Chain A
Amino acid sequence: MPEPNEPPIALLLDAIEHVMNEGSIAALATLTSAPKNVGTKILVPESGPAVGSFGDVALDKAVAQWATKFLAARDEANLFQVRDLAPELTEWAEASILFERLQPEPRLVICGAGHVGAALARMASLTGYKATLIDDRADFVVRDRFPEDRIELIAAENWNDAVRQAVGNGRGISVAVVTRGHNEDEECLRAVITTDADYVGLIGSKRRTNIVLNRLREVGAESEKLRKVHAPVGLDIGAVTPEEVALAILAEIVAERRGGTGGSLSSWRRESKREQGNA
């Protein structure tokens, strides 16, 4: 516990650390320009009381309320004028406040450390995802193959326990099921389907993924969750090699997280004939 006589910034850093360790979400507001107290911060957790102060109780209250709106908008960061969020506080009208979203770093759980899974783990790690790579063949998940310490390696005694433990409740987590065989895929998907993972993808042809999904339906898996499984996994980029397949999967995961369509940014040039010639 922090000492009561610690400077405010130390208390705030402790509170941030707590949010990070907990894996919860919070808004961090920083006074960026103002007649006084520039650089002071208020941390507003999604649930729980705010920590810190801008030195004005009325402003602090307005910030805590605005933080809820800011978090709902899913912005990573945004700069606001006090006149936008609390027009009645005229002495702060010209002041600006930076709101930032604190959230757990995105995680990707990969079932299967074959060629596709290995490439996906490396690519995801490069893209800023904390990757967890699981295989039941212990010699496939050794540090020699994956020197990157951001890639967590798990040798599974059985798929079900390992996958459940890695995915937890699934919040903030994407899962790619890319094992060597359809029985293993089914076992992993069965463990994942009970969680609230943000994204679940299953590798295979249309036909083979249908077989797996149908088997799960027969054993009573929730149909709403089965409907959301990306099967076959990945965007259609004509991927052939394992690395290309990994790229197609990662692109779909990023699109899902960021709200992208997965289409070409240039498609408008061809869709709208009137634009041709101006381009």
Chain B
Amino acid sequence: MGTIAQGDLYRMISDAKERGERVVVATVANTRGSTPQQRGAKMLFLESGDVAGTVGGGCIEAEVWSEAREAMRSGKSALRHFSLTAEEASEEGMVCGGTMDIFIDVIGDLR
């Protein structure tokens, strides 16, 4: 899954708005250390379960998914802190370490 162009992202949000659906957008707000994505990288979660974009491959994506699912349910936006120590990373065989602040943004309720 690659990065998503800004135009496509906002088009998908507008489409969800037309359908009266909630959208969760995870945005990398801050990074420290050797993280897999840059500030501003985005991942979009739709009510259908579809996703687009990426905030960092396998390294933290599972955690971000679960936070996004929770936000989809609760409707609450929040800045979340994710960390991957070098030790965890090497156990997983991943090249990334460091920490990321990711804003989990619930866009809605538009209905």
A binds B: yes
Q: Do A32 and B103 touch across chains, with their CB atoms under 8 A apart? A: yes
Q: Do A33 and B78 touch across chains, with their CB atoms under 8 A apart? A: yes
| A33 CA to B78 CA, complexed, in Å | 7
Residues of A within 8 A of B3 (CB): 128
What's the dominant secondary structure at chain B's contact region?
A: mixed
Q: Do A76 and B39 touch across chains, with their CB atoms under 8 A apart? A: yes
**Known A98-B103, A101-B40; contact A38-B77, beta-carbon cutoff 8 A:** yes
Residues of A within 8 A of B78 (CB): 33, 38
Q: Which residue of B lies closest to A7 (CB)?
A: B110
Contact partner, B6, options A32, A79, A103, Cβ 8 Å: A103
Residues of A within 8 A of B103 (CB): 30, 32, 98
Contact partner, A13, options B10, B27, B106, Cβ 8 Å: B10
Q: Do B7 and A9 touch across chains, with their CB atoms under 8 A apart? A: no
Residues of A within 8 A of B39 (CB): 75-79
**Known A20-B7, A39-B77; contact A10-B38, beta-carbon cutoff 8 A:** no
| A16 CA to B25 CA, complexed, in Å | 15
Residues of B within 8 A of A130 (CB): 5
Judge if B85 is at the interface, Cβ distance under 8 Å. no
Residues of A within 8 A of B95 (CB): none
Residues of B within 8 A of A252 (CB): none
Interface size for B (C-beta < 8 A) is 27
Judge if A17 is at the interface, Cβ distance under 8 Å. yes
Q: What's the least CB distance linking B36 to chain A, in Å?
A: 15
- Mark B15-54 against chain A: 1 for CB-CB distance below 8 A, else 0: 0010000000001111000000011100000000000000
Judge if A105 is at the interface, Cβ distance under 8 Å. yes
Residues of B within 8 A of A32 (CB): 29, 79, 103
Q: What's the least CB distance linking A106 to chain B, in Å?
A: 9
Q: Which residue of A lies closest to B78 (CB)?
A: A38
Q: Do B17 and A79 touch across chains, with their CB atoms under 8 A apart? A: no
Judge if B14 is at the interface, Cβ distance under 8 Å. yes
Judge if A102 is at the interface, Cβ distance under 8 Å. yes
Q: Do B38 and A79 touch across chains, with their CB atoms under 8 A apart? A: no
The interface of chain B, by Cβ under 8 A from chain A, is 2-3, 5-7, 10, 13-14, 17, 27-30, 38-40, 77-79, 101, 103, 105-110
Given contacts A13-B14, A30-B103, A32-B79, 15 further A-B contacts (CB under 8 A): A9-B110, A13-B17, A17-B14, A20-B6, A20-B7, A32-B103, A33-B78, A75-B39, A77-B38, A78-B30, A78-B39, A96-B79, A102-B6, A128-B2, A128-B3
Cβ contacts A to B, 5 pairs, < 8 Å: A20-B6, A32-B29, A38-B77, A77-B27, A105-B7
